[in-house]
A and B are shown apart, each in its own frame.
Chain A
Amino acid sequence: MALDKNQIAQRIAQELEHNTYVNLGIGIPTLVANYIPKGIDIEFQSENGVLGMGPFPFEGDEDPDLINAGKQTITTLDGAVLFDSATSFAMIRGQHVQLTVLGAMEVSENGDIANWKIPGKMVKGMGGAMDLVASADNIIVAMMHTNRAGESKILKQCTLPITGVNCVKKVVTNLAVLEVTEKGFKLLERAPGVSVEEIKNSTEANLIIKGEVPEMNI
């Protein structure tokens, strides 16, 4: 069975390392915060100016002066701090935020990512994505393996305007976990019950497959 969005988030949560600062993008990445493994301490950064972001507020406690980058009302945890946008991007550009998890429309085998524009159709802007992908040490993409038309989003080369070059380290989709290596995508894991053949059929890029490909532990 292919994973649902929550399961993709759950799999990415297994990548979280103890005592790190993490920026989660909008969509599936936001869900990662629900699955932090026990014993792992993480501080979430939101680029609009908060570190130590907590869960959504209880009804009645919403504060218009406290939102995340998706403009959703949030809370802060003990130890949280608020700051301006230049300081926020100093944390990002200066590589103080160790991991960025974000969504994508396309990822190519050299680690390019496209997620900000479909010419003539969707022009919403890149927000902080270009700064994030240009700087983070570790970038994991969370997305569905194919688009609504069933076409592979894992490509030899991006067809959409790119957000950053050579930056994605890992991709977790509803079908597979892929690592971006110097030689292209390496298939690390497959979704429970999904065969290597099925993944190949849904992937435009070449896949490096070595030995038995284990199932994800979800």
Chain B
Amino acid sequence: MLTGRRFGGPERGKEEEQKYNRQAAEDHGGKLVGAAVMKKDAMALVTGRPVYTDDIAPRECLVVKVLRSPHAHALIQEIDISAAEKVPGIQCILTWKDVPQKRFTLAGQTYPEPSPYDRLILDQRVRFVGDPAAIVAGETEDAVDQALKLIRVKYQVLDAILDFHEAKDSHILIHPEDNWRSLAPVGADNSRNLCASGRDEHGDVDGILKTCAHVVDETYHVKANQQAMMETFRAYSYLDTYGRLNVVSSTQVPFHVRRILGHALDIPKSKIRVIKPRIGGGFGAKQTAVMEIYPAVVTWMTGKPAKMIYSRYESQIASSPRHEMEVRVRLGADEDGMIQAIDVYTLSNTGAYGEHGPTTVGLSGHKSIPLYRTKAFRFAYDVVYTNRMSAGAYRGYGATQGIFAVESAVNELADRLSMDPVALREKNMVRQGDVMPAYYGETAASCALDKCMARAAEMIGWKDKFPFRDMGNGKVRGVGVAMAMQGSSISKVDVGSVSLKLNDDGFYVLTVGCTDMGTGCDTILAQMAADCLDCSYEDIVVYGTDTDLSPYDSGSYASSTTYLTGMAVVKTCQTLREKILKKAAEYLDCTADDLEFDGKVVRRLDTGAEITLKDIGNRSMCFNEDALSACESHTSPVSPPPFMTGMAEVEVDMETGHVELLDYVAVVDCGTVVNPNLARVQTEGGLGQGIGMALYEDITYSQTGRMYENSLMQYKIPTRLDVGRIRVEFEPSYEPTGPFGAKSIGEIVINTPSPAIASAVYHACGARIRELPITAEKVCRAIHPEVFRGEAQRKAD
């Protein structure tokens, strides 16, 4: 009744928006890149317009749910659906016998994916508590719920691997099947429960560590944190006029979803179209096709539209969280605190399936070690299968885990040397122009990390506050610091593309293949296009994302969109400008070299004759054979890292161990800041998540492999009362390979809170916490061991 209606008319609202955006551009010298314009979709979102997957799904969709295994590891011996099928309204029940038997991966990665092909839509073997055993579709949720209860499954329960230390070379095999496949040379071996393994080194690490005056050798543990985006996983599907499978999904990777569905359903990709509407957050979670296969297979089998909305419970227990990693760091330095060598070994838990297992682990070393100039490094890793929920991609993508470890080790080194960790870093940090051997030998062409450090120290008042201040009321405040880097796209792999066309009256439509998930990429790409085309922000209409219409883009992940798709925008605008000039030359009866184009008018330099863009647009629609459209792709041989420094001030209650985060400052070098508001909120948001990970968000399992934190009641993401004060500034460098000098920002921002807060807690109270989250009880156990001394004894009794 009220949907889609704007009270007061659409124009009044638009005027305000335009006024604001024009002012924002004016405040920035008339340029859009660097201006704090509002997001293109902002007013629709804040007024509650129905633009998300479930809002636009047809009402007649079948409701799709899955029956989930109660066992961590079992074989389905029998499955009886006869009673369930009789429930009125049930349209389709599928078991492992009904689905294609070719294995695939749900990882949204470029083909051939590094993640092993270890999945079926439904498998006879279930590998974690929550693994689907049957798919049920019906006309109402009630019918489906009832049917789910009536399915009888006889399981042969198998021994499970729940502790990832026991996985490698265990007698229990998670993937013994013959058709398990690894498409890429990632050191995978299903007969050893290895999803990946490998090493990379440079110089004589062991030899150098032997000569070091100080060696820190510690192990750090990060759990399988959940992205917990507010919109859970969801998709609906239907057959279109041509009998093609259309899937509307809350996804970051529409093109990958198309391929994955093709593989899973064993049908040609030409039969599939994937559309991404507005997404209620992703953070990497939706870089895995967590559940699109279920409604898709139902639609394909029944011909009927089908919809699946993951509950929060399902999103917690059967999704794509961060990889649990245990990272051992050996870090050697001389008497003066010059770091000589870093040795990192990462054990990563990919869970029941291998999505993103081989790739996330790489970042734990490749994006932590290069923060420092060292003579030698070694990075080795194993990624193991266990009977836990499969992991996936979460903002930071392994760098987060590695940086927590390496930055914590550096902080421990500083404490051992009685040296200020800021000073220690100033001696050792990577600088602009450095070659980074641990970062594939790339050169830091743009790096303002030193400035980030100096500014962050100034903002928080480091000199006055380091290392701690006793407040005299049983509370002590401490400060801690950490640095971080990430990449900007996957070098030599990712592809960003856009298409751009000129329309009548001279407005442009920019069609993108990347996926705005609230990050604002539709907006910043329009900002870049507007500057390239010398037009206003409103003259650019942005459309995305639809695999039938959008040019191929690997998707929005790996911190790629601003950097890569942004460059595609720059190139595409250039091409279209040339076409416009060519067309204008025809209309003005000259050559393109004689012309100048100011965005509104094309003018002959010799005669002054001119034609407006509006006229070109209109005229090109009649008796014309040159399409005024362009499409360019961009890929990059390098992945320039953004850099940042984060500093935390905490207050520890010395009796209870309670940690309160008071202040968090961050200074980021993301190259050119394309939209200061959006970059700031990306940073604040990533820090917020990082703070949650550092202090609150825990993951624990029962002895039978059931995950306890299965709701937002138990999985405590921070509220606005739990994040302290977050302050963000930028120290822009200029990245020569990026659009307008830009690098990425989306992921790096989650990496500093854990090590910075852990160090601040240590400085405040002496509790060294190496396993996240840093709970009050862990701190209390560290500072009041006497309280807990009797515990082991009591347990033994």
Task: Answer whether A and B are interacting partners.
Answer: no
CB within 8 Å of A: which residues of B? none
